[in-house]
Amino acid sequence: MIERYTLPEMGRVWSDAHKYELWCKVETLVLEAHAKAGTVPADAVEPVRAAPPPTPERVAEIEATTQHDVIAFLSAWADNTVPREAAAYVHFGMTSSDLLDTALAVQLTEATDLLLDKADALVAALRDHALEHRATLRVGRTHGIHGEPDVWGHRVADFAFAAARSRDRLRRSREAVAVCAISGAVGTYSNIDPEVERYVAAELGLKPADVSTQVVIRDGISEWASALAIMATVCEAIALEVRHGQRTEVRELWEPFGRGQKGSSAMPHKKNPIMSERLAGMARIVRAQVTPVMEGIPLWHERDISHSSTERIALPDASIALDYMLRLTHRLVSGLVVDGDRMRANLESTGGLIYTSAVLLELVNAGMSRDDEAYPLVQKAAMETWDTGVPFRETLRRRAAEAGHALDEARLDEVCRPERYVERLDAMFGRLASLR
Active-site residues, by number, are: 143, 264
According to DSSP, the residues that pair with 179 across neighbouring strands are: 207
User: Strand, coil or helix: what is 352?
Assistant: coil
- Provide CB contacts within 8 A for 15, sequence distance 6+: none
CA gap 105, 29 in Å, rounded: 15
Give CA–CA dist 83/87, Å, rounded. Answer: 8
Nearest to 50 by CA among 76, 75, 18, 83: 83
How far is the first Cα of the chain from the last one, in angstroms, to the nearest whole number? Answer: 31
CA–CA distance from 166 to each of 119, 185, 230 (Å)? 9, 37, 7
CB 317 within 8 A of CB 112: no
**What is the gyration radius of the CA atoms in the chain, in angstroms?**
30
How many angstroms separate the CA atoms of 378 and 393, rounded?
Answer: 10
